[in-house]
Chain A
Amino acid sequence: MVSGELKRRISRLQREDSPPRPGRPDGRKPRRASADLTRHFPEGSICRTDRGDAFVCETPLGDIYSASRRLRRRYLAAFKKARRLARRDELPAFLEPLAGADAETTALIDTETAGLHGRPLFMIGMVRHVGEELILTQSFARSYAEEAAILDRFAAELPEVELLISFNGKAFDWPFVRDRMVYHRLACKPAFDHLDLLHPSRRRWRSELPNCKLQTLERYLCGRWRSGDIPGEEIPQRYHDFVREQDARLIAPIFHHNRLDLITMMELLIALVSPADAEPATRARAPSS
Chain B
Amino acid sequence: MAADFSKFLEDIVSSQGYAGQIVHTEEIPAREAAYGELAEPLPGPIREALSSLDIRRLYSHQAEAIESIRAGKHTAVVTGTASGKTLCYNLPVLERLLANPEAKALYLFPTKALAQDQVRGLRRLADSHPELADLVRCGTYDGDTPSPTRRKLRREANVIMSNPDMLHQGILPYHSGWGGFLADLDFVVVDEIHTYRGIFGSNVANVLRRLSRICRHYGSSPTYVCCSATIANPAELAERLIGMPVQLVDQDGSPRGPKRFILWNPPYIDTGKMERRSSNEEGHRLLVSLLRKKVQSIAFARTRIVAELLFKYTAEALEKVSPSLAEAVRPYRAGYLPEERREIERQLFSGELLGVTSTNALELGIDVGTLDASLIVGYPGTIASTWQQAGRAGRGTDEALVALIAYNDPLDQYLMLRPEYLFGRSPEHAVIDPENPYLLAGHVRCAAFELPLREEDGECFGEQVMPILEILDDLGQVNRIDDAWYWSSTDYPAAEVALRTQSDDTYTIMDTSDGNRVIGMVDSISAPETVYPGGVYLHEGETHLVRDLDLEARAAYVERQHVDYYTQAVLDSSIRAGERQAEQDYAGGQLCFGEATVTWRTTAFKKIKFYTQENVGYSRLELPAQNLETASCWFAPSEEALSLVSQHEMKPIEGLVGIRNVAVNMLPLLAMCDRLDVGGIVDSTNFGTPTLFLYDRYPGGLGFAERGYKLFESLMEECLGAIAKCACDQGCPSCVGLPVTQPPQQGDPDLGRGYPIPDKEAALVLLHHLLGREAYVPRKRRRRAGRAVPAEPPEPRPAAEEGKPKSVSVSEQVAQRLRSARRRHVGL
- Please report A residues at the B interface, Cβ cutoff 8 Å: 1-3, 5-7, 9-11, 13-14, 19-24, 30-33, 114-115, 117-118, 120, 143-145, 179-180, 182-183, 185, 236-237, 240, 243-244
Contact B179 A182 (CB under 8 A): yes
From the candidates A14, A179, A180, A244, name the one contacting B437 in the complex (CB within 8 A).
Answer: A14
Minimum CB–CB distance for B752 against chain A, Å: 34
Interface centre among B442, B482, B497 (most CB of A within 10 A): B482
Contact A10 B479 (CB under 8 A): no
Contact A13 B449 (CB under 8 A): no
Task: Write out the residue numbers on chain A whose beta carbons fall within 8 Å of the beta carbon of B472.
Answer: 6
User: Which residues of chain B (103-118) have a CB below 8 Å from chain A?
Assistant: none
B505 at the A/B interface (Cβ < 8 Å)?
Answer: no
Contact B438 A1 (CB under 8 A): yes
From the candidates B455, B480, B497, name the one contacting A1 in the complex (CB within 8 A).
Answer: B497
Task: Write out the residue numbers on chain B whose beta carbons fall within 8 Å of the beta carbon of A120.
Answer: 486
Task: Write out the residue numbers on chain B whose beta carbons fall within 8 Å of the beta carbon of A11.
Answer: 581, 703, 706
| Segment of B125-133, B463-471, B796-804 in the binding face | B463-471
Minimum CB–CB distance for A31 against chain B, Å: 6
From the candidates B176, B219, B464, B489, name the one contacting A182 in the complex (CB within 8 A).
Answer: B176
Contact A20 B174 (CB under 8 A): no
Task: Write out the residue numbers on chain B whose beta carbons fall within 8 Å of the beta carbon of A21.
Answer: 466
From the candidates A22, A117, A179, name the one contacting B466 in the complex (CB within 8 A).
Answer: A22
Minimum CB–CB distance for B517 against chain A, Å: 37
Whose C-beta in chain B lies nearest to the C-beta of A12? Answer: B471
Contact B452 A144 (CB under 8 A): yes
Q: A1-B698, A117-B177 are in contact. List 4 more A-B contacts (CB 8 A).
A: A2-B496, A22-B458, A31-B480, A117-B174
B488 at the A/B interface (Cβ < 8 Å)?
Answer: yes
Q: Given A2-B442, A13-B437, A30-B481, is A20 in contact with B463 using a C-beta cutoff of 8 Å?
A: yes
Contact B479 A144 (CB under 8 A): yes
Whose C-beta in chain B lies nearest to the C-beta of A1? Answer: B442
Minimum CB–CB distance for A184 against chain B, Å: 9
Q: Given A6-B471, A144-B481, is A23 in contact with B455 using a C-beta cutoff of 8 Å?
A: yes
Whose C-beta in chain A lies nearest to the C-beta of B458? Answer: A22
Q: Given A9-B471, A13-B467, A22-B458, is A30 in contact with B488 using a C-beta cutoff of 8 Å?
A: no
Whose C-beta in chain A lies nearest to the C-beta of B486? Answer: A144
Q: List 26 A-B contacts (CB under 8 A).
A: A1-B698, A2-B438, A2-B441, A5-B475, A9-B471, A13-B437, A13-B467, A13-B471, A19-B463, A20-B463, A22-B466, A24-B470, A32-B482, A33-B482, A117-B174, A143-B481, A144-B488, A179-B176, A179-B177, A180-B176, A183-B176, A237-B490, A240-B476, A243-B486, A243-B488, A244-B476
B290 at the A/B interface (Cβ < 8 Å)?
Answer: no
Task: Write out the residue numbers on chain B whose beta carbons fall within 8 Å of the beta carbon of A10.
Answer: 437-438, 441, 468, 471
From the candidates B174, B474, B581, name the one contacting A118 in the complex (CB within 8 A).
Answer: B174
Contact B467 A20 (CB under 8 A): yes
Q: Given A6-B471, A114-B490, is A185 in contact with B218 using a C-beta cutoff of 8 Å?
A: yes
Task: Write out the residue numbers on chain B whose beta carbons fall within 8 Å of the beta carbon of A20.
Answer: 463-464, 466-467
Whose C-beta in chain B lies nearest to the C-beta of A176? Answer: B176
How far, in whole Å, are A165 and B183 apart by their CA atoms in the complex?
A: 31
How far, in whole Å, are A13 and B465 apart by their CA atoms in the complex?
A: 12
B700 at the A/B interface (Cβ < 8 Å)?
Answer: yes
How far, in whole Å, are A9 and B698 apart by their CA atoms in the complex?
A: 19
Contact B438 A240 (CB under 8 A): no
From the candidates B180, B480, B698, B706, name the one contacting A30 in the complex (CB within 8 A).
Answer: B480
B484 at the A/B interface (Cβ < 8 Å)?
Answer: yes
B766 at the A/B interface (Cβ < 8 Å)?
Answer: no
Contact A240 B488 (CB under 8 A): yes
How far, in whole Å, are A5 and B441 apart by their CA atoms in the complex?
A: 12
Contact A118 B173 (CB under 8 A): yes
B702 at the A/B interface (Cβ < 8 Å)?
Answer: yes
B439 at the A/B interface (Cβ < 8 Å)?
Answer: yes
User: Which residues of chain B (716-750) have a CB below 8 Å from chain A?
Assistant: none
From the candidates B439, B455, B481, name the one contacting A33 in the complex (CB within 8 A).
Answer: B481
Minimum CB–CB distance for A152 against chain B, Å: 16
Task: Write out the residue numbers on chain A whose beta carbons fall within 8 Å of the beta carbon of B176.
Answer: 118, 179-180, 182-183
**Contact flags B441-473 to A (C-beta < 8 A → 1, else 0):** 110000001101001001000011011101110
Contact A240 B490 (CB under 8 A): yes
- Please report B residues at the A interface, Cβ cutoff 8 Å: 173-177, 179-180, 217-219, 437-439, 441-442, 449-450, 452, 455, 458, 463-464, 466-468, 470-472, 474-477, 479-484, 486, 488-490, 496-498, 581, 698-700, 702-703, 706
Task: Write out the residue numbers on chain A whose beta carbons fall within 8 Å of the beta carbon of B489.
Answer: 240
Minimum CB–CB distance for B673 against chain A, Å: 13
How far, in whole Å, are A57 and B219 apart by their CA atoms in the complex?
A: 34
How far, in whole Å, are A23 and B463 apart by their CA atoms in the complex?
A: 11
Task: Write out the residue numbers on chain A whose beta carbons fall within 8 Å of the beta carbon of B449.
Answer: 118
Contact A1 B700 (CB under 8 A): yes
How far, in whole Å, are A10 and B470 apart by their CA atoms in the complex?
A: 11
Q: Given A20-B464, A33-B482, is A183 in contact with B488 using a C-beta cutoff of 8 Å?
A: no
How far, in whole Å, are A116 and B458 apart by their CA atoms in the complex?
A: 28
Task: Sort A-B residue pairs by CB-CB distance and give the 4 closest, nearest first.
Answer: A182-B179, A183-B176, A144-B486, A179-B176
Q: Given A11-B706, A14-B437, A22-B455, is A3 in contact with B700 using a C-beta cutoff of 8 Å?
A: yes
Task: Write out the residue numbers on chain B whose beta carbons fall within 8 Å of the beta carbon of A2.
Answer: 438, 441-442, 496, 700
How far, in whole Å, are A213 and B792 apart by their CA atoms in the complex?
A: 63
How far, in whole Å, are A19 and B438 apart by their CA atoms in the complex?
A: 17
How far, in whole Å, are A115 and B491 apart by their CA atoms in the complex?
A: 10
Minimum CB–CB distance for A149 against chain B, Å: 13
From the candidates A3, A24, A31, A117, name the one contacting B481 in the complex (CB within 8 A).
Answer: A31
Task: Write out the residue numbers on chain A whose beta carbons fall within 8 Å of the beta carbon of B470.
Answer: 24
Whose C-beta in chain B lies nearest to the C-beta of A240? Answer: B488
Contact A30 B483 (CB under 8 A): yes
Whose C-beta in chain B lies nearest to the C-beta of A2? Answer: B441
Task: Write out the residue numbers on chain A whose beta carbons fall within 8 Å of the beta carbon of B483.
Answer: 30
How far, in whole Å, are A5 and B477 apart by their CA atoms in the complex?
A: 12
How far, in whole Å, are A265 and B480 apart by their CA atoms in the complex?
A: 37
Task: Write out the residue numbers on chain A whose beta carbons fall within 8 Å of the beta carbon of B477.
Answer: 6
Minimum CB–CB distance for A95 against chain B, Å: 27
How far, in whole Å, are A180 and B451 apart by their CA atoms in the complex?
A: 11
How far, in whole Å, are A120 and B481 apart by their CA atoms in the complex?
A: 14
How far, in whole Å, are A24 and B699 apart by their CA atoms in the complex?
A: 32
Whose C-beta in chain B lies nearest to the C-beta of A10? Answer: B437
Interface centre among B176, B468, B700 (most CB of A within 10 A): B176
How far, in whole Å, are A23 and B490 apart by their CA atoms in the complex?
A: 25
Whose C-beta in chain A lies nearest to the C-beta of B480? Answer: A30
Task: Write out the residue numbers on chain A whose beta carbons fall within 8 Å of the beta carbon of B217.
Answer: 185
Contact B466 A6 (CB under 8 A): no
Task: Write out the residue numbers on chain B whose beta carbons fall within 8 Å of the beta carbon of A117.
Answer: 174, 177
Task: Write out the residue numbers on chain B whose beta carbons fall within 8 Å of the beta carbon of A3.
Answer: 496, 700
How far, in whole Å, are A240 and B455 apart by their CA atoms in the complex?
A: 22
Contact B479 A244 (CB under 8 A): yes
Task: Write out the residue numbers on chain A whose beta carbons fall within 8 Å of the beta carbon of B467.
Answer: 13, 20
How far, in whole Å, are A185 and B476 apart by their CA atoms in the complex?
A: 28
Contact B471 A115 (CB under 8 A): no
Task: Write out the residue numbers on chain A whose beta carbons fall within 8 Å of the beta carbon of B498.
Answer: 1
Task: Write out the residue numbers on chain A whose beta carbons fall within 8 Å of the beta carbon of B466.
Answer: 20-23
Minimum CB–CB distance for A205 against chain B, Å: 28
Task: Write out the residue numbers on chain A whose beta carbons fall within 8 Å of the beta carbon of B463.
Answer: 19-20, 22
Task: Write out the residue numbers on chain B whose beta carbons fall within 8 Å of the beta carbon of A13.
Answer: 437, 464, 467-468, 471
Task: Write out the residue numbers on chain B whose beta carbons fall within 8 Å of the beta carbon of A30.
Answer: 480-483
From the candidates A24, A115, A145, A179, name the one contacting B490 in the complex (CB within 8 A).
Answer: A115
Task: Write out the residue numbers on chain A whose beta carbons fall within 8 Å of the beta carbon of B450.
Answer: 118
Task: Write out the residue numbers on chain B whose beta carbons fall within 8 Å of the beta carbon of A22.
Answer: 455, 458, 463, 466
How far, in whole Å, are A31 and B478 apart by their CA atoms in the complex?
A: 12
Minimum CB–CB distance for A172 against chain B, Å: 14
Task: Write out the residue numbers on chain A whose beta carbons fall within 8 Å of the beta carbon of B464.
Answer: 13, 20
From the candidates B173, B455, B486, B706, name the one contacting A145 in the complex (CB within 8 A).
Answer: B486
Whose C-beta in chain A lies nearest to the C-beta of B582? Answer: A15
From the candidates B175, B441, B452, B490, name the one contacting A6 in the complex (CB within 8 A).
Answer: B441
Interface centre among B458, B481, B484, B497 (most CB of A within 10 A): B481
